[in-house]
Each structure stands twice: as C-alpha cells, then as structure tokens.
Amino acid sequence: MKVAVLAGDGIGPEIIAEAIKALRALDLGIEFEEALVGGAATDAHGDPLPPATLALCKAADAVLFGAVGGPKYDTLPRPQRPEQGLLRLRKELGLFANLRPALIYPELAAASTLKPEVVAGLDLLIVRELTGDIYFGQPRGIRTLDNGEREGFDTMRYSESEIRRIGHVAFKAARKRVKRVCSVDKANVLETTQLWREVMTELGRDYPDVELTHMYVDNAAMQLLRNPKQFDVLVTGNMFGDILSDEASMLTGSIGMLPSASLDANAKGLYEPIHGSAPDIAGKGIANPLATILSAAMMLRYTFNGEEAAARLERAVAKVLAQGLRTGDIAAAGEPTIGTRAMGDAVVNAL
Ligand code: NAD
C-alpha cells in the first residue's frame, strides 16, 4: 500500500500532517511518499505538476491531497496556476468519478444555516463526473468577431461511454446505501444532457434493485435546500456537480468536515478535503483537519478495501465531536475551540 502525499499550499501541509498521524496510528503498514504540487511546485520548478510528482502519483496506489492555490498565484499565466496542477493530475490519472458524501453529525446539526429539522439525519452522496463536460470540451476560447466584438465560448460534450461509466459508479454506490439514484440534468434545454438522461435510463435497467429518478438541475438546486433528505445518491455531470456539491456541503454547516474521493476505473483514487487552501487562516494552526482525516478513511474504503479500518477512523471522528471538541469553523458562538494539531491528537486518542 503506497500513498503519494501531496500537501500543496496554504493549510494543506497542516491538515495533511494530521491525516498521516491518524493513518499511522492505525498501523496498517502504509508507505507514504511526499511530493510538491500547486503553488509550492510552481515556486520550486515553475510547474504546478512537475514530472516527478506525476510519476510518483502514477506509481502509487492512492494519492492523499491537501489543497492548492493562493492569492500570490492568481496573476500567473494559466498553465502555471496551482489549480491547473490538480486538473491535470485528475486527467492524467483518469479520475472520472468524484464522490462527495454530505453527512450531518448530530452534534453539528445546529451549525447548518438551514433549520436543524431540515438537515438532521442527512446522509447523501453526490457522484460527479470529473473529466468531461464543458470544463474540458473543445473548441473553447475567446475570439474576436467580424464586428470587432469579443466572444467567449466553451463546448459541452458527453459521449455515451463517459455517461455509462459514471452511471455504473452511482448505481454501485447506491447498492451499498439506500438504493436510490437521482440523475440530474437539463434535458429540456441541452442535447448533451438529453443523451445523459437516455443513457442513465438504459443503464437503470441493469440495476432493477435500485430506484432511478431524474431531476432538472434547477429543481435539484432548490430541492437540496427544501428537502435534502429526499436524496440518497445524486449523479450528475461535471459542471452541475461542481455547483450542487458545494451547495450540498453547506447543508452540513462546515466545509472543514467534508471529504471527497476521485476514482479511476480500477479504484485507484485521489482523496482530498473539498475545501481549498484557506489562505486567510494558513499557518495559524487553526484549520479543521477532519475533512482530510475523513478523506483518508475514504481512501481505506475505496482503494484499500479496508472497510473496517475506514469505519474505525470515522467512529473516532464522531467520538471527538461527541466529546465536544471543536475547531473554530464548527464551534457555536462562545464555544471553546482547539487547534489543528490538538484535533488530530484527539482523533488518535479516540482510535
Ligand atoms: P477555501 O475553501 O480555501 O476557503 C473558504 C473559507 O472556508 C475560508 O474562510 C477558509 O478559512 C474556510 N476554510 C476552508 N477550509 C477550512 C478548514 N479546513 N478549517 C477551517 N476553515 C476552513 O476557498 P477559497 O477561499 O475560495 O479559496 C482559497 C484558495 O484555495 C484559492 O486559491 C482557490 O483557488 C483554492 N481552492 C483549491 C481547491 C483545491 O485544492 N481542491 C478547492 C477550492 C479552492
């Protein structure tokens, strides 16, 4: 079991250190090897994904990723920007399936901006296609028209096979849960997603034990706020998934609690918290490491088939929350808080 560790920028190194500490405490014999990515790699090598980092990730079984980016890099030419390192890595590793659970811990139900009765008990999984859609479709660009006006354009594309493989991931995930898949599209307006709906419907016949429903993305955005507990697995394309998964993350109250997995066809994966590098709190030792620790648990479950160890780690996180330990982002007004390292230590103690 070899894990490439890419801490990245901002709070990345602080939160990754705690996840490694928790994984070591499980004593599973995992080997860790670190490499630079994002702004840190641009600073050192002028490239946010240097060849040595990519080679390490290709050779490893899984990648544990912190976060990349920062204001310092926002004015660089696009290829040198930290986010390009992550986008290229996803593409190079063929990580087409992004899994984002949104789970409410009972103790944190009050942290949501929604009423506790709307979110209490929430447990949904967003399955987002990650390597296609308008984010990668060609042609794209900004051109000057004959009349001298500039025009920006991008292309939304999905092939049948791309839709089919993300569909399989969603249906299989649903089989391990409540067996309901809601496929989100905009089939009334966009041909690409009309095909999406047709292919999902065909695929659904291979999973008669799973209930398949369809929803337009605008309605899904509304339903996530109105009654999020109606959902089990939501499957959607890259752009809709980008937006809906951020919306779903806020149902739980803190971006610092939410893990993610990005998988290839053979369960190799990149595991990362959904939040960014949080430059506003970087270096202060106050970032919440739990999203990264829960990402490590997903790594044990999906890449290393270690359901038991994954569940142990998740129970340890639930335990520290039940003990009342809070980093600033999940503390109620006036509640005492602890720092990144103390939270990591508490998880290790709970293990
Ligand atoms: P962000 O997620 O970094 O931060 C948003 C807010 O949430 C900030 O106030 C931050 O302090 C807080 N926050 C985030 N993670 C936290 C944690 N673990 N504990 C406590 N508080 C936390 O988003 P942003 O500010 O929009 O972006 C900052 C940088 O991160 C940008 O350069 C952006 O491009 C990059 N980014 C990277 C990724 C990634 O690496 N996958 C994802 C999103 C944003």
CB atoms within 10 A of CB 200: 25
Could you read off the pLDDT of 172-210 as tens digits, one per residue?
A: 989 988 999 999 999 999 999 999 999 999 999 999 999
User: Ligand 1 centroid vs 128 CA: distance in angstroms?
Assistant: 20
Q: Is 86 in the pocket of ligand 1 (CB under 6 A)?
A: yes
How far, in whole angstroms, is CA 192 from its chain's centroid?
24
Rounded to two decimals, the pTM is 0.91
CA–CA separation, 122 vs 275, rounded Å? 20
User: Ligand 1 centroid vs 283 CA: distance in angstroms?
Assistant: 14
For the CA of 11, the nearest atom of ligand 1: 18
Residue nearest to atom 27 of ligand 1 (CA): 276
* Short-list 82, 101, 81, CA closest to 12: 82
Query: What band does 112 get if pLDDT is binned at 50, 70 and 90?
Result: confident
Residue nearest to atom 8 of ligand 1 (CA): 278
Mean pLDDT of the region 241-264: 90
Close Cβ partners of 46 (under 8 Å, ≥ 6 residues apart)? 80
* Short-list 285, 340, 239, 282, CA closest to 67: 282
**What whole-number percentage of the chain has pLDDT above 70?**
100
Place of tokens 């430059």: 279
Residue nearest to atom 42 of ligand 1 (CA): 276
Close Cβ partners of 43 (under 8 Å, ≥ 6 residues apart)? none
Residue nearest to atom 1 of ligand 1 (CA): 276
Could you read off the pLDDT of 126-179 as tens digits, one per residue?
A: 999 999 999 989 999 999 999 999 999 999 999 999 999 999 999 998 998 899
For the CA of 69, the nearest atom of ligand 1: 32
Q: Which of 64, 90, 275 to mutate to test the pocket of ligand 1 (most atoms within 8 A of CB)?
A: 275
Instruction: Reply yes or no on whether the pLDDT at 249 is more than 90.
Output: no
Q: Which of 16, 37, 255, 347 to mutate to test the pocket of ligand 1 (most atoms within 8 A of CB)?
A: 255
Q: Is 277 in the pocket of ligand 1 (CB under 6 A)?
A: yes
Residue nearest to atom 40 of ligand 1 (CA): 67
Dmax (CA) for the chain in angstroms is 68
CA–CA separation, 84 vs 89, rounded Å? 8
Distances (CA, A) of 153 to 84, 141, 146, 311: 20, 6, 15, 45
> CA 68, 285, 102 angle in degrees (round to 5)?
60
Mean pLDDT of the chain: 95
Q: Kindly give the pairing relationship between strand 233-236 and strand 123-129.
A: parallel
User: Ligand 1 centroid vs 299 CA: distance in angstroms?
Assistant: 21
The DSSP bridge partners found for residue 62 are 3, 269
Q: What amino acid positions are annotated as catalytic residues? A: 135, 186, 218, 242, 246
Q: What DSSP element (H or E) covers 296?
A: helix 290-302
